[in-house]
Amino acid sequence: MRLLVLGTGVMAKNQLAHFSRMDGVTLAGAVDLDATRLAAFADTFGIEKRFATLEEALAWGEFDAATNITPDRAHHPTTMALIAAGKHVFCEKPLAENYDKALEMTEAAEAAGVINMVNLTYRNVSPLQRAREMVLAGELGTIKHVEASYLQSWLVSRAWGDWRTESTWLWRLSTGHGSNGVLGDIGIHILDFAAYGAATDVDHVFARLKTFNKAPEERIGDYTLDANDSFTMAVDFANGALGVVHASRWATGHLNELKLRVYGEKGSLEVIHRPNGAELHGCLGEDVETATWRPIEAPPVPTNYQRFADAVANGTQPDPNFRHAANLQKVLDLAIVTERERRELKV
């Protein structure tokens, strides 16, 4: 696979740490409007072909697939151009700023027959994969209740940098700079974490969003700090289970923690993922009577990056695809409506 890298920021470096080590993957070219950043990135990964615009790269055309790591608002136009050129696309999340654009991208990719995949990175967590297998195998019986949370603390600490001075973080707090807040940034991750692990889809949603005071007049320079910082969400799942999902950037003491608890009539599972690793615990069988939780082994799984490369090589569409990401975006869009109208909505 000859891969074009579209956007050379922090996430591009994270992705290339994987793609650059894969047999059969050639880093064909890189694109970025920032010439200095592009040069430093391309030098680091030994990429010869460098382009200031996607149009220049498409005119050249000597690549099979692209990884789209542009800002959220650029995902739609750039991906649509790649699809029109017949290129396979690995897109960062969220797929688009709203469901309508995400659906347009989905239908275009399906019509063109190109491999399409969204980088929902927590699919790489092997305990989550193992939990899903157990749910699908019926080891928990009928699922009754689901809890999921995504907790970050970068508005409290400077562990990842100082959001008060760094544009890397400030844009995430401003709707005028393309952010849908914590809901749009990590909401899609925790919804996927919950629905995938519980092996079901969200059917109804009711959400509350909150933006907290962070600066005088809610501004820092050119940034109006109006994006939501925390959300809570009550959901009904398609399998009949009731769920609660929440996320915050104000979770003091939690650098980056995802947690999922799935409760069934025969047993329960808990997945916890933190920067230092992930764990799976279960309360099953006779342990249900004593509420005893035990660790469960989870073998390693291929990463999204490897599965995309394999899919391009063998022509088989992988998951999570554009349609799945579009459906998640629909839930996020409806969550904003439920906050405004104070009512539950069917997905």
CATH number of the domain enclosing 74: 3.40.50.720
**Cα separation of 327 and 202, whole Å?**
9
The CATH number assigned to the domain holding 273 equals 3.30.360.10
- Give the pLDDT confidence score for residue 68 in this predicted structure: 98
Count Cα neighbours of 176 within 13 Å in the Cβ-side half-sphere.
10
Domain shared by 281 and 250, yes or no: yes
Res 178: pLDDT: 81
Q: How confident is the model over 274-300, as pLDDT tens digits?
A: 999 999 999 999 999 999 999 999 999
Percentage of the chain modeled with pLDDT above 90: 94
Position 151 scores a pLDDT of: 98
pLDDT, position 168: 82
For residues 78 and 157, membership in a common domain is answered with no
41 and 145 fall within a common domain: no
Asked if 131 contacts 262 with a C-beta cutoff of 8 angstroms, the reply is yes
Same domain, 129 and 52: no
Same structural domain for residues 138 and 66? no
Same domain, 193 and 340: yes
Summary count for the chain: helices (H), strands (E): 12, 17
- Domain identity same for 100 and 131: no
With tokens 């998640």, the residue in question is 328
pLDDT digits (tens, 9 = 90+) for 45-71: 999 999 999 999 999 999 999 999 998
Structural domains of the chain, count: 2
Q: Kindly state whether residues 201 and 87 are assigned to the same domain.
A: no
pTM value is 0.93
> Does position 167 have pLDDT exceeding 90, yes or no?
no
C-alpha–C-alpha distance, residues 263 and 216, integer Å: 44
Task: Classify the C-alpha dihedral 133-139-141-145 as positive or negative.
Answer: negative
Q: How many CB atoms lie within 10 A of CB 47?
A: 21
Give mean pLDDT, residues 89-101: 95
- Mean pLDDT of the 96-122 span: 97
Average pLDDT across the chain, whole number: 96
Residues 228 and 322 in one domain: yes
Same domain, 169 and 85: no
Question: Is there a contact between 35 and 29 (Cβ–Cβ < 8 Å)?
Answer: no
Last residue of a domain, one of 121, 143, 165: 121
Mark which of 86, 121, 156 sits at the end of a domain: 121
Domain shared by 102 and 159, yes or no: no
Dihedral sign from CA coordinates of 9, 13, 15, 20: positive
Q: What pLDDT, on a 0 to 100 scale, did the predictor assign at position 54?
A: 98
pLDDT (0 to 100) of residue 323: 98
Q: How far apart are the first and last CA of the chain?
A: 37
- Does one domain contain both 245 and 333? yes
Up-side HSE of residue 25: CA atoms within 13 Å toward CB? 26
pLDDT of residue 72: 87
> Domain boundary residue among 121, 137, 168?
121
Whole domain around residue 317: which residue ranges? 122-346
- Per-residue pLDDT tens over the stretch 172-219: 999 998 888 999 999 999 999 999 999 999 999 999 999 999 999 999
